[in-house]
Amino acid sequence: MTNTSTNSDSNLRIIPLGGLGEIGRNMMLIEYGDDIIVIDVGLMFPEEEMLGVDLVIPDFTYLRENQQKLRAVFLTHGHEDHVGALPYFMREFHAPIYSTRLTDGLIRVKLNEHRLLQAAETHVVKPGESIQAGVFEVEFFTVAHSIPDACGLIIRTPLGPLVHTGDFKLDHTPVMDQHTDLIRLAQVGAEGCLVLMADSTYAEMEGYTPSEQLVGDALRTIIVNAKGRVIVATFASLISRVQLVLDGAVATGRKVFVTGRSMIDNVAMARQLGYLNAPDGVLVGVEEMRNTPAAKLVIVTTGSQGEPTSALTRMANGDHRHITIVEGDTVVLSSSPVPGNEQAVYRNVDNLFRLGAEVLYNRIANIHVRGHASREELKIIQGLVQPEYFVPIHGEYRHLVVHAKLAESVGVPAGQAFVMTDGDVLEIDDETAWLADRVPASYVYIDGLGIGDVDQHILRDRAHLSTDGVVVVIVTVDKQTGRLERPAEVLARGFVDADEGGELLERSKEIVSRSLAGSVHYAEFSDVNTRIRDAVSKFLYDETRRRPMVLTVTVEV
C-alpha cells in the first residue's frame, strides 16, 4: 500500500464515478496512459431527503479534465441506472457509444426525446465481437438479467484482461433464452483474469435468485383468474416483463393495449427489432380497446414507481384520457418500489383501491423477481474467473463489503479484494494494486432544466424550509442614516398561522426596530440584514422553540 510509483503511465487505473456506495448512477472509467474508456452512464432516482430533485447523475469532473483521453463508451444494458444519464453526458462529451441491439434501440429512443440523436455516434455490437478503443480491446458477453441483450464486458489491457459483469444472475430458464455465458468466463479465467468487477446488488441474499419464469407463472395465474381487465404496470425498459404479459394475454385469449409514452415507444422499438413477440391482432389501439369486453383485455402501462405524470398515476387520480378504473379491474404493480419512491407508489395503490380496483403489488404477490445474482451464483462466478484482484461493484457500501468477504472466502487472496467507493482510484502495475488517489464523485442533481446548479447547500435550505418554514422581514431604511423609515413588515409561510401567529409577528416588528435602535449609520447593508436576522431568529426561537428560516429584504430610500 506504500507504492508511490511515479511511472503511472504504465499503470492501469480503475475509477468508479457512480454505483459503488449507492444503488444507481452506475459509471466506471478504465484508464491506461492516454486512453480512457467509460462503462455505463447511469442515473439514480433521488432519495426522499433530496427535496425537489428529479434525478441524480455522476460527477463528470475527472473526465472533463481528461477529455482528450476519452475513447469510447460501452453500455452493458438498457436499464436507467446504466444509461439514464447519457443525455446529460452527451451534451458535454463526444465519443462513440457501443452496445448490443436492444440497448442501442433504447438509448436511441431516449436520445431522440432529448434531441441528441443526430449528433450521437452509436454502434451496435454482437456478443463475442471485440472493439478496439485506444489501447483497450473490449468484448461483450451475454448475461441473464431482467432485460434482453444484457451483457458483461471482457476488457483486454496491457496488464491483462478485466471482467466487468454488468448486472447479472444465473437464470437457467431465462425469458428470452439468454444465459450468462459461463463458458466464456471460464476461458478468461483459464487465461488469467487480472481484475473481476462483479454485481453486488444482492450479495446479501443466500442461495440462488429465482428464475424470471416464476413471474411469468404468477402473471398468467392472475390473468386467468381475473374477472375484468388486468392492468400491469412496470418499467418501460423491462422488455422481458412486457413479453411475459403478452404471453399471458395470448394464452388466455385477451387483447393488449399499451399506454404511457415511454412504454409505447419502447414496445414499438422492441417489436421492430424482434425482441417482443406479439401475434398479429393482439395489440390493439384505443378504438378497439373501447370495444373489447373487460374480461378480454390486458393493459400494459408505465407508472410502477408512482411517477407523477405517468399513465398509471393518471388512472389512479381518475384523469387518464382513455382509461377509467372501475370495480372489477385488477391492477398489478410488477416491480418493487425503488427506495425513495415508496410514498408515491403506495399513494397510487391507495387511490386505485379507492376506485374499486383489486391491486396486487410486491408485498402481497409473487410478481417481481430480482434481476441480480445471489450468493451461490456469485461464488460460481468467482470459481470460474479466479481473478487476481476483485472489485465489488453495483451496491451500497454494505453490499460491497459483504461481496468482498465472499470473494475472499472462495479464494481471492486476502488484501486483493478492494472495497472501493465512488471516486476512489485503484491503480495496478505489473506487481501489485493499491488505492492510489481520489477524484471528484459527488452527487450531481438535476432539478427541472438545471444540471448541477442544485447543491448540498440548496438541499439543506429546502430541508430547513420544509421542516420549520420561512419568515420574511421587509424593512425600508434611509440610505443616509440607516434608520427605519417605517415599521417593518413581517410575513410567514409554513411557520405560524396568520391568525394565531399574528401577535407573534406583530411583536417581531418591535424586535426589528429595537435591533436597529441606537445606530446612526451603517456602511454595509448586509450588517443591517445580519442584525435583523439574528434578533428575529432568537426571538422566535425563544417564543416557539422553532427555527424558521429568516430572510430579510432591505429597501433603501
- Burial state string for 226-247 with b = 16 or more CB within 10 A and e = fewer than 16: bebbbbbbbbbbbbbbbbbbbb
* Closest C-alpha to 264, from 299, 289, 297: 299
Nearer to Zn ion, 77 or 533 (CB): 77
Nearer to Zn ion, 24 or 87 (CB): 24
Residues whose CB is less than 8 angstroms from the CB of residue 307 and which lie 6 or more positions away in sequence, other chains included: 313, 344
Q: Is 81 a catalytic residue?
A: no
DSSP codes joined into one string, 529-548: HHHHHHHHHHHHHHHHS--P
**H-helix or E-strand spanning residue 63:** helix 61-65
Residue count at the site for Zn ion (CB under 5 A)? 3
Q: Which DSSP symbol is given to 207?
A: S
Which residue carries 463508451 as its cell? 73
We find the least distance from the C-beta atom of residue 127 to Zn ion, in angstroms, to be 17
Nearer to Zn ion, 89 or 539 (CB): 89
Is residue 13 part of the contact set for Zn ion (CB under 5 A)?
A: no
Question: Which pairing describes strands 444-447 and 27-32: parallel, antiparallel, or unpaired?
Answer: unpaired
**Residues 13, 71, 79, 368: which binds Zn ion (CB under 5 A)?**
79
| Identified catalytic residue from 77, 320, 372, 403 | 372
Classify residue 317 by burial, with Cβ atoms within 10 Å: 0-12, 13-18, 19+. Answer: middle
We find the least distance from the C-beta atom of residue 402 to Zn ion, in angstroms, to be 17
Which residue carries 465489488 as its cell? 392
| Identified catalytic residue from 59, 199, 329, 422 | 199
Task: Tell me the C-alpha distance between 388 and 411, whole Å.
Answer: 10
Q: Which stretch binds Zn ion (CB under 5 A): 66-74, 162-170, 422-430, 476-484?
A: 162-170
* Alpha-helix residue ranges (DSSP H) falling in 285-396: 286-290, 311-316, 342-354, 375-385
Say if CB 79 and CB 105 are below 8 A apart. Answer: no
DSSP codes joined into one string, 67-102: GGGEEEEE-----HHHHTTHHHHHTT----EEE-HH
Nearer to Zn ion, 22 or 167 (CB): 167
Q: Which stretch binds Zn ion (CB under 5 A): 77-85, 127-135, 321-329, 346-354?
A: 77-85
**Residues 81, 171, 212, 265: which binds Zn ion (CB under 5 A)?**
81
Q: Which stretch binds Zn ion (CB under 5 A): 48-56, 58-66, 164-172, 303-311?
A: 164-172
We find the least distance from the C-beta atom of residue 371 to Zn ion, in angstroms, to be 6
* Closest C-alpha to 203, from 394, 60, 383, 344: 394
Q: Which stretch binds Zn ion (CB under 5 A): 71-79, 185-193, 241-249, 268-276?
A: 71-79
We find the least distance from the C-beta atom of residue 273 to Zn ion, in angstroms, to be 19
Residues whose CB is less than 8 angstroms from the CB of residue 287 and which lie 6 or more positions away in sequence, other chains included: none
Nearer to Zn ion, 166 or 482 (CB): 166
Q: Which stretch binds Zn ion (CB under 5 A): 80-88, 156-164, 326-334, 376-384?
A: 80-88
Cα-trace Rg, the chain:
28
**Residues 167, 377, 427, 447: which binds Zn ion (CB under 5 A)?**
167
Per-residue x/- marks for Zn ion, 118-157, CB under 5 A?
----------------------------------------
Q: Is 199 a catalytic residue?
A: yes
We find the least distance from the C-beta atom of residue 17 to Zn ion, in angstroms, to be 15
Q: Which DSSP symbol is given to 53?
A: -
Nearer to Zn ion, 167 or 181 (CB): 167
We find the least distance from the C-beta atom of residue 82 to Zn ion, in angstroms, to be 6
CA angle 420, 421, 424 (to 5 degrees): 75
Task: Tell me the C-alpha distance between 413 and 537, whole Å.
Answer: 58
Task: Tell me the C-alpha distance between 474 and 212, whole Å.
Answer: 61
Q: Which stretch binds Zn ion (CB under 5 A): 29-37, 79-87, 327-335, 430-438?
A: 79-87
Nearer to Zn ion, 16 or 548 (CB): 16
Length of the chain: 557
Nearer to Zn ion, 44 or 549 (CB): 44
We find the least distance from the C-beta atom of residue 39 to Zn ion, in angstroms, to be 12
Nearer to Zn ion, 104 or 167 (CB): 167
We find the least distance from the C-beta atom of residue 76 to Zn ion, in angstroms, to be 8
We find the least distance from the C-beta atom of residue 372 to Zn ion, in angstroms, to be 8
Q: Which of left, alpha, beta for 351 (phi over 0: left; psi -120 to 50: alpha)?
A: alpha
Task: Tell me the C-alpha distance between 53 and 427, whole Å.
Answer: 34
We find the least distance from the C-beta atom of residue 171 to Zn ion, in angstroms, to be 13
Q: Which stretch binds Zn ion (CB under 5 A): 159-167, 273-281, 342-350, 472-480?
A: 159-167
- Residues 461 to 480: which contact Zn ion by CB under 5 A? none
Nearer to Zn ion, 75 or 111 (CB): 75
Say if CB 440 and CB 423 are below 8 A apart. Answer: yes
Which residues form the interface with Zn ion (CB under 5 A)? 79, 81, 167
User: What positions carry a catalytic annotation?
Assistant: 199, 372
